[in-house]
Structure 1
Amino acid sequence: MTIYQTILGEEFTKLHPKLQERYTLPVNQPFYAKGVMHKIESGAKWLRPFYTVATKTKFLFPESGENIPFSICNTCRTLPSGELEVLWERAFHFPKRTRYFHARMTVDLVHKIVKDYLGEPALFYSDLHFAVTREGRLVIRSGFQRLVLSKIECGLPKFLQGHVVVEEGFDDTRNVFTIHVSIHNPLIGRLMMYAGEFTQQSR
């Protein structure tokens, strides 16, 4: 049973069948897909110093664009502790360079959250809350966040946090997964938004 089945419990069966397949993720059997982000929007230009640091850790990036080729690989693996971890590797293939958005997720059953470490090495940490819509889409919302400085983690006040909303679905008509991700700060505004579609591939 993967971390997503564990955290959602009976709600997992209410996901669209294709999303159930996607998030079952047997250990060491990666889910790989390619597609296109119809729209990508980063934040204000004055945030460039932040994006410069973020790109070095495969986190956020300054580029915006339309119809950007995209690939994603999710791999569930067993840590030395016996805990399951899911590695997220996302690549956005802009005309002049490829940008990455990586993360590592584990589950906290006590607090009923998914623990998300963003970047490689991790730059930020966020609690994640998972839910299923009536239509069978998956919705992920961020919770408490921390800045990660090597082995030190500092809690962020709410006005410095990036509020994340992810909605993933499946379009039966076109046989594609759909994705919409928004990262927004209450003071700064948009930090990142991307929306598009992808299909599972063999590597």
Structure 2
Amino acid sequence: MRHVSQSPYAEILGDRLDQLHPHLREYFSSLPEGHIGIGEGTFSRVGTPRRWLWPLLRPLHERSVIYAGWQLSVPFRVTNRLIDGRVVSEREFLLPGQGWTMRDAVSVNPHGRLVDELGESGVVAASFAVDVRDGALRMRSHTVGIRWGSLRVRLPRFLSPVVDLTESFDEVIGRQRVLVTMELPLVGRIYEYAGDFSYRIEEKKP
């Protein structure tokens, strides 16, 4: 019998996991040992059209946190692995003439909150409130911190971006949809990506 580890999403949601659309329940529940999750689809938009933000976002781009630019109709591939209770993901953006990869790891912290560590060495970390609405997963950031050397600095609310994520399933097209937005106080939306994809679980190759 294959061993199945519980995902951090399942740990946080508890009985609410059953309120998710069946396809999302599979996506957020668990992965059998020796298997990975593969999603392939297209982002209708990614980044920010505000060009003046691109140089400011470039350091995070170089650390695999967010894309510093603006593109439409971007094919992508996401690979999910469940490692010691953490969902470790890589999102490969197939950009025109180049590739770029976003990396993150989701876990439950000692305080019982869902935490997403983004980029190389978890340079940015955000804790989230998680809910289920109409079969979709909704997440909103509670706190955001930045790693500075060996220190983790929590951003004050007036400087902290608010990240919203919605994962849903579209019965019409038979694909999963994702929408992520990042808003900064006094500035407004500074980053987003939205798209749809198909998802499958397959055995890891040796």
Answer whether TM exceeds 0.5 for this pair. Answer: yes
The size of the alignment, in residue pairs, is 196
Distance in 2 (CA, whole Å) between partners of 1:194 and 1:139 is: 15
Distance in 1 (CA, whole Å) between partners of 2:156 and 2:16 is: 31
Contiguous gaps of at least 5 residues in structure 1 = 79-83
Say whether the 8 Å CA contact 2:51–2:69 is kept in structure 1: no
Distance in 1 (CA, whole Å) between partners of 2:129 and 2:44 is: 26
Q: Structure 1 residues 24 and 47, CA, compared in 2 at 3 Å: closer, same or farther?
A: same
Distance in 2 (CA, whole Å) between partners of 1:113 and 1:28 is: 27
SS in 2 for 1:12: helix
Distance in 2 (CA, whole Å) between partners of 1:49 and 1:153 is: 23
- Which residue pairs with 1:106 in the alignment? 107
Say whether the 8 Å CA contact 1:130–1:141 is kept in structure 2: yes
Say whether the 8 Å CA contact 2:20–2:132 is kept in structure 1: yes
- Which residue pairs with 1:163 in the alignment? 162
Once the 2 structures are TM-superposed, how far is the Cα of residue 65 of structure 1 from its aligned partner? 1.8
Once the 2 structures are TM-superposed, how far is the Cα of residue 32 of structure 1 from its aligned partner? 0.7
Query: How big is each residue's C-alpha offset from its partner over 1:158-193, in whole Å with a ceiling of 9 and x where there is no partner?
Result: 122111110011112221001111011012322211
Say whether the 8 Å CA contact 2:12–2:114 is kept in structure 1: yes
Of residues 32, 39, 61 in structure 2, which corresponds to 1:55? 61
**Segment of structure 1 superposing worse, 45-54 or 191-200:** 45-54
- Which residue pairs with 2:24 in the alignment? 19
- Which residue pairs with 1:151 in the alignment? 150
Once the 2 structures are TM-superposed, how far is the Cα of residue 113 of structure 1 from its aligned partner? 1.1
Runs of 4 or more consecutive aligned structure 1 residues displaced over 3 Å after TM superposition:
none
Query: How big is each residue's C-alpha offset from its partner over 1:30-65, in whole Å with a ceiling of 9 and x where there is no partner?
Result: 211110011224163233333221121101122212
Distance in 2 (CA, whole Å) between partners of 1:37 and 1:187 is: 27
Distance in 2 (CA, whole Å) between partners of 1:191 and 1:89 is: 22
- So what's the TM-score if we normalise by structure 1? 0.89
Amino acid at match of 2:16: E
SS in 1 for 2:26: helix
- Which residue pairs with 1:81 in the alignment? none
Equivalent pairs: percent with the same residue? 25
SS in 1 for 2:35: coil
Say whether the 8 Å CA contact 2:87–2:105 is kept in structure 1: yes
Query: How big is each residue's C-alpha offset from its partner over 1:103-151, in whole Å with a ceiling of 9 and x where there is no partner?
Result: 111113x533111111112221111111100x20001111111111232
Say whether the 8 Å CA contact 1:180–1:195 is kept in structure 2: yes
Residue 10 (1) aligns with residue 27 (2):
no
Say whether the 8 Å CA contact 1:137–1:170 is kept in structure 2: yes
- Which residue pairs with 2:182 in the alignment? 183
Say whether the 8 Å CA contact 1:28–1:77 is kept in structure 2: no
- So what's the TM-score if we normalise by structure 2? 0.88
The within-5 A match list for 1:85-104 is 85-104=86-105
**Segment of structure 1 superposing worse, 22-31 or 165-174:** 22-31
